[in-house]
Structure 1
C-alpha cells in the first residue's frame, strides 16, 4: 500500500469509532482509498490518532499477550483443545508473527509517521507529541521481541519494500530520541489537545508526559545488564520528573468488533477455551496466600479453589477440574465480560516497580521499599482486591542487598502482570532471570535448560525483503539479554 495523505477522508464521529474494530482479522484503517483522485488530499489528524493506538493495543493485548503469558507461564494450553500447542512446545512458525509485525509496522508506524509529519501545525502539535511517544513504544515492542529490525527505512510504505535492518542498540538510541522529541512538543496548557480520539488518556497531556517519563525509565532499565553506565546516567536525568500513577490503557466494550482483542480472537475461534491456568504462576501465588489468584483465575464454581496443570502438560489426561484465566484479563472464552478487559500499555503498578528498581540500584532517589509496596498496592487497587495482610505480613520482610531487593521487586512485578502484561513479564524475566521458579514446559522440543528468548522474524520478511539479515533461532538472546 502506498503511503499517501489521501488514504484518509473526513468522517463523522460515529464513523471514527470504527477504528476500535479489534477482531481476528486485525485492526483496519478508517478507509483505504489508495490513490483515488476524487478524494481530498488533506489529512485529518484527529481521525488518524485512534488507529495506531488501537493497532498497538491489539498486538499487546492479543498475540503478544498470548505468547508472553504462555512463555511467562501464567497460562498453558488446555488438554481439551489445540490452538496454542506449538507455543507451549516452543516451536512456533515464522508465519505466526506475520500479523503482529505487520500491525506494528504497516498499521501503527505508518499512521504515526503521518501524524508526526503534521507537527508544524500548531493545532496538531499535541498529536505529534503523542505520536512520538507511541513511536518509541512501538519500536521497543518490535526490538524487544525480534532484536535487530528496520529503523531508518521503516514507515516508508511502498517507497521501500526492502528495508534495511538496524542494530538493536541503535534502535534503543532512537527510542530515547523519540521520547525526548515527544515530550518537547507536549504542552498541558495547549488549547489544541486531543479529546476522545485519544483512546488512552482522552487528551490529558500531563498523563502523556508521565507516560513518556515512565517509558524512558523502562527503556533505560532494559539496558541495566548490557550498559549500566548509560542506564544510570539516563535514569539520573529523570530525577524529579513525574511518572505514571494510573494505568495507561485502552478500554473496550461488548459491542461487536469493539471487544478486548484477546476476547475477539476467542469469539472467532468459537469461544473455545484454549488457555488454562499454569501451575507455575498459580502455585507461586498460592505459596504466598496471594488473594489475586482468585481474581486472575476463575476458581472452581462455589469454591475458592484454583486448580492449574503443569506447564505444557496438555498431552496428559487431567484428573482434576482445570481452572481457566478469568474474564478480568479477557481470557475466559465463555464469559461475555471478557470483552471489557482493558489492554494495559504501562500499568501504574509497573511504574512503581520500575522506580523501586531504579532506587534499589541507587540510580534514582526515593525509598525502594516504599515504592515496591506502592507497586503491590497499585496492583491490588487496579483489580479492587483487598490485600488484607499480604503486604504487612507476607512481603514486608524487605531483604538486605541490592540483588535480593531487585529479585523481590521483579517477582512482585511478575505477580502484578499476571495475564494482563504477559509480554512485559516474559521480557523482564529475560532481562533479570526473575522470577526463578520457571520450569521447562513438558511439551518442549528444546534441549534441557533452554527456553524461548525471542520471537521469530515473520515469514513475510524471510520471503519478501531482499535485505533480510538471516534467520534467528528461538533460543538466541537479544542484545540486552546478557544474563
Structure 2
C-alpha cells in the first residue's frame, strides 16, 4: 500500500499539478507508463478535488461548517461572493488531472481488450463529469478532451450531458458483460481492488444517481429507475479512496490543507447541522465534529456566517470538522445508495419499501462514521425522532429522506450535500431567526452579498478557461440554476 501511495503522488505530480493545463490538453502521461499506475493517479486526482477544495466549498454551502470570527480566509464562500478566479485550480485538477488520466486508461484498456479496466476508468470519467456539470452547468462534453483537434470546445447543455453519461455507463457495461475480462490493474485500483462485481454495482448506483438527479425535469425516466430497482444490484460497500498516511502531502486533502498547513482555524461547526444533531440526540455529532479545545465536554458552533457576534472567540473555542490525516474520501456510500433507492420508491412505487431503505440508509451512515450501528435503532424505531412516517404526498415523504441524506454526507461528500439541497430545497433556507434546527433548516448566511435568502446555485466558470476558450460565456450570477434545479 505504501508503494501505491508513493507512486500515486509521483503521478499526480506529473499529470495533475500543472496549472497551465486545461481541458483541451492531451494526456501528458508518458506512453510507456503502465496504465495501472495512471489509474491510481486518476483516482487520487479525483479524490484530491472531491476531498479538498470541494469538501471545503461544499462544507460551507451545505452548512456543515462556517467561518470563525478569528479568521477570514474563506469569507468569500461564506458570504456567497466567490469570483471568477475561485475555482481555477479545481477545474484544472479534474480536467487536466483526473479526466486526462482516465481517458489514457480507457484508450490503453480498449487496445488491450481489458474490458474490466475500461469499465473502471469509464465509470470514474462519468462520475467526474457529473460533478463538473452539476457544479458549473453547461460545460464542454462532446467536443472536450480532443487535444489539437478542437482547442475551443463548445459547451453542451447539461441535460444532453446527462443523456451522454447514462449512455457511457450502458456502453461500458455492455462491453464488459459481452466480453468479461478481469481488470489487470489489481491492487492499483485503490477503490475496489479490481473487484469487478463491486464496479458493476457502482455502475448501477451511479446510473440511479443520474436518474434521480433528473427527477424534477422532463428527462425523468420512471421506467429506467424501476428497472434498476428490480435488478437490485447496488453497492454493498462504500466506494472510497482510503490510502492516505499521517505524513505531509500523503494525508487526506482537507486535513493536509485546512488542518495541518493552515492551522485548523478556518472551519468551525455550523449550527445548521450541529444543532440538528444535538437537539435530536444524534450520536453522530461526535463523529462529525471535534469538541472545542477549551472545554472537551462541549460542542459549540455558530449560526452560518454569524461571526460578528463572537468577535472575542477564536477557532479553538468551537467544534471543528472531525477529519483526520487518514480519513477516506468517499465517492458514493452505501448510505447514499439506500437514500437514492428510498427516493426512487417514493417517487415511482408509491412509497412501498421506502421505509426499509430509509432505515438502512441511516444505519449505514452510522457505519461509515465508524459508529455502532445499533445506536441508530432508538432514533428510527417506532416513536423515535427519525421514525419514517409514510405519506401520500411525495414531498412530505421525501423530506424525511433528504434531511437524513444531508446529515449522512457531512465530512463524507460535502459537495453532494450542496447539490442535493439545491435540487430538492431540503433543508429549506429561511432568514436567521425563523429557523427550526430541530427539524432541519438552512439560514441565509449572515453577511451574504445576495438578496434576501438567496444562496448560490453554481460557480462562475474559471477565468483561466474563459480566457482560453471564447466559446464559453461567463455567467451573470452565482444564483443561475443548473438545468436539473427546477423545483
**In structure 2, the residue corresponding to 1:209 is in which secondary structure?**
helix
Residue 121 of structure 1 deviates from its aligned partner by: 3.8
Structure 2 CA distance for aligned equivalents of residues 182 and 23 of structure 1: 25
Residue 451 (structure 2) pairs with residue 451 (structure 1) = no
Report the TM-score, using the length of structure 2 for normalisation.
0.87
**Contact 1:126–1:194 (CA<8 Å) still a contact in 2?**
no
Structure 1 CA distance for aligned equivalents of residues 275 and 2 of structure 2: 47
1:168-205 Cα distance to aligned partner (Å, 9 max, x none): 11110111011112222336963444311111111111
Q: Look up the match of 2:61.
A: 71
Deviates more, 1:116-125 or 1:464-473: 116-125
Residue 239 (structure 2) pairs with residue 244 (structure 1) = no
Q: Look up the match of 1:309.
A: 302
Residue 352 (structure 2) pairs with residue 352 (structure 1) = no
Structure 2 CA distance for aligned equivalents of residues 394 and 22 of structure 1: 48
Residue 135 (structure 2) pairs with residue 149 (structure 1) = no
Residue 365 of structure 1 deviates from its aligned partner by: 8.8
Q: Look up the match of 1:4.
A: none
Report the TM-score, using the length of structure 1 for normalisation.
0.88
Residue 20 of structure 1 deviates from its aligned partner by: 3.7
1:14-55 Cα distance to aligned partner (Å, 9 max, x none): 4773324799999549xx9x99xxx98445211211121111
Q: Do the aligned partners of residues 270 and 225 (structure 1) sit closer, same or farther apart at CA in structure 2, a change above 3 Å counting?
A: closer
**In structure 1, the residue corresponding to 2:231 is in which secondary structure?**
coil
Correspondence for 2:446 among 425, 442, 456: 442
* Unaligned ranges ≥5, structure 1: 1-11, 331-337
Residue 354 (structure 2) pairs with residue 368 (structure 1) = yes
**In structure 1, the residue corresponding to 2:60 is in which secondary structure?**
helix
Correspondence for 1:210 among 201, 213, 226: 201
Q: Do the aligned partners of residues 66 and 192 (structure 1) sit closer, same or farther apart at CA in structure 2, a change above 3 Å counting?
A: closer
Structure 2 CA distance for aligned equivalents of residues 354 and 407 of structure 1: 13
**In structure 2, the residue corresponding to 1:203 is in which secondary structure?**
coil
**Contact 2:183–2:194 (CA<8 Å) still a contact in 1?**
no
Structure 2 CA distance for aligned equivalents of residues 464 and 474 of structure 1: 21
Residue 378 (structure 2) pairs with residue 389 (structure 1) = yes
**Contact 1:27–1:58 (CA<8 Å) still a contact in 2?**
no
Residue 445 of structure 1 deviates from its aligned partner by: 0.7
Q: Look up the match of 2:282.
A: 290
CA-atom RMSD in angstroms = 2.8
Residue 298 of structure 1 deviates from its aligned partner by: 1.1
* Unaligned ranges ≥5, structure 2: 429-440
Q: Do the aligned partners of residues 319 and 390 (structure 1) sit closer, same or farther apart at CA in structure 2, a change above 3 Å counting?
A: farther
Q: Look up the match of 2:435.
A: none
**In structure 2, the residue corresponding to 1:243 is in which secondary structure?**
coil
**Contact 2:8–2:37 (CA<8 Å) still a contact in 1?**
no
- For this pair of structures, how many residues does the alignment match? 456
Structure 2 CA distance for aligned equivalents of residues 85 and 69 of structure 1: 13
Residue 220 (structure 2) pairs with residue 234 (structure 1) = no
Residue 68 of structure 1 deviates from its aligned partner by: 1.0
**In structure 2, the residue corresponding to 1:394 is in which secondary structure?**
coil
Q: Look up the match of 1:196.
A: 187
Deviates more, 1:183-192 or 1:99-108: 183-192
Structure 2 CA distance for aligned equivalents of residues 129 and 99 of structure 1: 28
**Contact 1:19–1:27 (CA<8 Å) still a contact in 2?**
no
Residue 255 (structure 2) pairs with residue 263 (structure 1) = yes
